[in-house]
Amino acid sequence: MRIVRFAHPAGMSFGVLDGDGQVAQIEGHPFGQISFTGQRYAAADVRLLSPILPSKVVGIGKNYADHVQEMATGDAPKEPLVFLKPSTTVIGPGDAIRIPVGSTNVHHEVELAVVIGARGARQVSPEQALSSVFGYTIGNDVTERDMQRSDGQWTRAKGFDSFCPLGPWIETDLAGLGKDPADLEITCSVDGELRQSGRTSQLLFGVPTLISHISQVMTLLPGDVVLTGTPAGVGPIAPGQRVECTIEGLGTLTSTVAGADPTSTAGVR
């Protein structure tokens, strides 16, 4: 089932996107028993938003061996390398990645994104972990590379507004499509040029291990997102470019790239 979050004339709703390009609106949130309102929209007539607004986005660094090699910052980690991205980094399909003022080295990082389900995850074992998964979507762990190298920790480099495109939908039944999340093709293209290509079978730490490891530290709440790492081929993006992140069975997440957003809250009462 493809779960979407979308904007329509009456507001914002969750829905189920079918194979005919129709979105069936659901009541409330998609966790638990889904109940339909009876309202349907043509997908072409609504704007898809990020499929979820997580309380937190948990990232994993250096989780593909070829990416570890290209970054040349040491050996592969012996356990998952965990970091956080603020919820304000999240944007949806078609939204603009904003390049910070003065930055010239902002990189794309296509990643399989895991969405946590209704039960959450706290102190679960790897064997229990997949029961906490609601579904899968595509993420782009946008990173300001110069800041990542200079700061010694990654909060600033990965935390700018718009630095986590998610979408276009959450697939809750990859198995029903004949797909295995442990072996999906994953690619990223910029202006039609293939930059990244890999398979999730190359993950150094798989999804069950990641969820279990994270859950020993922090509680994963329903709707939280775990980004699982990126394959080799990361590279810079600049205003005016178009980034397409594609994962087998999950569609394509497209983002534009634009300059910094000058909007300020200064003076707002």
Domain ranges of the chain: 2-48, 57-258
Nearest to 126 by CA among 79, 87, 94: 79
Residues whose CB is less than 8 angstroms from the CB of residue 49 and which lie 6 or more positions away in sequence, other chains included: 4, 5, 6, 7, 12, 92, 93, 167
| CA 182 – CA 200 distance, rounded (Å) | 6
| CA 107 – CA 224 distance, rounded (Å) | 23
Nearest to 92 by CA among 199, 170, 39, 184: 170
Q: What is the pLDDT of residue 72?
A: 63
Tell me the three state secondary structure of residue 62.
coil
Longest CA–CA separation in the chain, Å: 55
Question: Which structure tokens are listed for 249?
Answer: 């069975």
- At the fourth CATH level, the homologous superfamily of domain 2-48 is FAH (2.30.30.370)
| CA 214 – CA 121 distance, rounded (Å) | 9
Q: 242 near 193, Cβ under 8 Å?
A: no
Q: What CATH fold (topology level) applies to the domain 57-258?
A: Fumarylacetoacetate hydrolase; domain 2 (3.90.850)
Q: What is the pLDDT of residue 66?
A: 81
Q: 35 near 26, Cβ under 8 Å?
A: yes
List, in sequence order, the alpha helices (H) in the chain.
Answer: 65-71, 126-129, 145-151, 155-158, 207-215
pLDDT in tens, the chain (269 residues): 999 999 998 899 999 999 999 999 999 999 989 999 999 999 999 999 999 999 999 999 999 988 888 876 777 889 999 999 999 999 999 999 999 999 999 999 999 999 999 999 999 999 999 999 999 999 999 999 999 999 989 999 999 999 999 999 999 999 999 999 999 999 999 999 999 999 999 999 999 999 999 999 999 999 999 999 999 999 999 999 999 999 999 999 999 999 999 999 997 77
Q: What is the pLDDT of residue 71?
A: 72
Q: What is the pLDDT of residue 10?
A: 85
| CA 235 – CA 220 distance, rounded (Å) | 30
